[in-house]
Chains A and B, each alone.
Chain A
Amino acid sequence: MKGDFRHLRGTAAIVGVAESDELGKLPHKSALQLHMEAAHNALADAGLKKSDVDAVFTSGRNMANDVPEYLGIRPRFVGGTQIGGCSFMAHVEHAMAAIYAGLCEVALITHGESGYSRVGMPALRWSEDSNNAQFEHVFGTTGPATGYGLMATRHMHCYGTTSEQLAEVAVATRKWAALNPMAMHREPLAIDDVLSSRLISWPFHLLDCCLVTDGGGAVVVTSAERARDLRQKPVYVLGTGECVSHSIPSQMPSFSQWDAAIESGQRAFAMAGVKPADIDVAELYDAFTIVPMLALEALGFCKPGESGAFVAGQRTAPGGDFPMNTNGGGLSYTHTGMYGIYTIIEATRQLRGQCGERQVQDAKLAICHGTGGQWSAAATLILGSP
């Protein structure tokens, strides 16, 4: 069995998930406090004590040292993979492998980011001799809005994708947010509202872009065996995949398809032994409206170039036949900076049947998929029952 990643299928389960006590604009809380609140709440959700935790996974500069210290946990396994917003999906894969190998049993994955208020956060500066600064910032790149937009423009050129189709995603996602009491923006939104919002970086309007918020999230992963006796119905990790294809946007292998996501998705589906058509609910990181669209193509929900038609007619909204970003997404619920952990929290709640008004009926199989950097990294999880 050595070397066949598919043996990991279902060997670990998600047994606890939570956000920080509140999400939004929180100038009264530091980033580490947001980690702590989410960790505390997720352990309570799982019915586990701090002393049960023997592994900590987190992301952010020096956080793999800071978080265990702040929580008073001395992990025997620590994961500090930092590949951007999808780091936490990668942490689930790494936790599952470590648990399978016997290196730990209960893994606590935490995220906390004061993305809006920037309390207790590292400075945002890149050093001026970094490749990013030398070869990209000097031309006025503005971070994610530039990197993600470059793909959107080329996709429009190659496939005729329109601003209206991008706006469909923002509008559908807002309808889900209206059903989520934790979401920041819940008022109705129309396609024209998106198209008439101010231009940030053409082709993106303001309402094509995710929120900038403060918040935390945490996920507890343990072995399938240990999961059986805990408070919540286990949500099994059936498939995982990750890939890094580049760091700075000029090095992207393609500007019309998301290469890292194609690879991470293929591995996750291969491990899970399921097909895109089997998925009941999809949580696809939406840093910008184009991002879940390219994920739909990369993961095989539609063909290359067809995501514009796929999302048309509010197909991903409540009542549509493809429930996507059911928490309201980074576009309307929350986006602290590294949003990936919230896709895992929402997928787990959907599979437990705990989503109230926004519950997707008979949700048995979910996919979480995230981006890191600027299309640079991708990580995919398929969750469900064994």
Chain B
Amino acid sequence: MSEKPYEGPLPVATPETKPFWDGARQNKLMLQRCGDCGQAFFYPRPLCPHCLSRRIEWFEASGRGRLHTFVINHRAPRRSPLPPPFVVAIIALEEGPKMMSNLVGIAPDPTQIRCDMPVEVVFEHVTAEISLPRFRPVA
């Protein structure tokens, strides 16, 4: 962590999303899986968006996936998590669901970043309470 206090936007959990953010603080990428149809999904909610079952279980995901698609933001939002330009990415997780994140550990250069490149999670502890799951290319 840098000395400067984090100025980016911070998540405020709701009851159904709290286990995700609690997991992130412990370097765990927590997902949910349906106890009936077996499909994993994201974001957290107490029912399966595939079959509407309410038999839902949490599990720790591998943290591996692929960069599905991305943009490179050159204009910072009002509160920016990273100095622009930075990469906003859709990660296709190994377990199936997709999630929004940042791609870090590579220059924000469209000639270097490739859709479908393998990536892995890296937790950035931006405050004492909040850790953000970002992704970096697999070496």
Q: Residues of A at under 8 Å CB distance from B?
A: 127-129, 131, 133-142, 145-146, 149-154, 157, 198-204, 248-252, 255
Q: B75–A139 contact, CB under 8 A? A: no
> Given A135-B99, A139-B101, A128 and B11 touching (CB < 8 A)?
yes
> Given A140-B76, A146-B71, A198-B74, A250 and B115 touching (CB < 8 A)?
no
Q: Which residue of B lies closest to A142 (CB)?
A: B77
Q: A139–B71 contact, CB under 8 A? A: no
Contact of A140 among B10, B69, B82, B110 (CB under 8 A): B82
* B53 located at the interface, meaning its Cβ lies under 8 Å from any Cβ of chain A in the complex: no
Which of B80, B85, B90 gathers most chain A CB within 10 Å? B90
Q: B73–A131 contact, CB under 8 A? A: no
- 29 A–B contacts from the bound complex (CB under 8 Å): A128-B9, A128-B10, A131-B17, A133-B9, A133-B11, A134-B13, A138-B9, A139-B102, A139-B132, A140-B9, A140-B73, A140-B81, A140-B82, A140-B88, A140-B102, A141-B77, A142-B75, A142-B77, A151-B69, A153-B71, A154-B69, A157-B69, A157-B114, A199-B72, A202-B74, A202-B85, A202-B110, A250-B99, A255-B90
Residues in chain A near residue B72, CB distance under 8 A: 199, 201-202
Residues in chain A near residue B70, CB distance under 8 A: 150, 153
Q: Report the tally of A-B residue pairs with Cβ distances under 8 A.
A: 120
* B43 located at the interface, meaning its Cβ lies under 8 Å from any Cβ of chain A in the complex: yes
Q: Residues of B at under 8 Å CB distance from A?
A: 8-14, 17, 21, 42-43, 68-77, 80-82, 85-86, 88-90, 98-102, 110, 114-116, 132, 134
Give Cα A134–Cα B45 distance, bound, in whole angstroms.
13
Q: A249–B90 contact, CB under 8 A? A: yes
Q: A131–B43 contact, CB under 8 A? A: yes
Give Cα A134–Cα B16 distance, bound, in whole angstroms.
12
Q: A139–B68 contact, CB under 8 A? A: no
Give Cα A183–Cα B88 distance, bound, in whole angstroms.
33
Which of B8, B21, B88, B110 gathers most chain A CB within 10 Å? B88
Contact of B11 among A135, A152, A153, A157 (CB under 8 A): A135
Which of B69, B90, B134 gathers most chain A CB within 10 Å? B69
Residues in chain A near residue B88, CB distance under 8 A: 139-142, 146, 150, 201
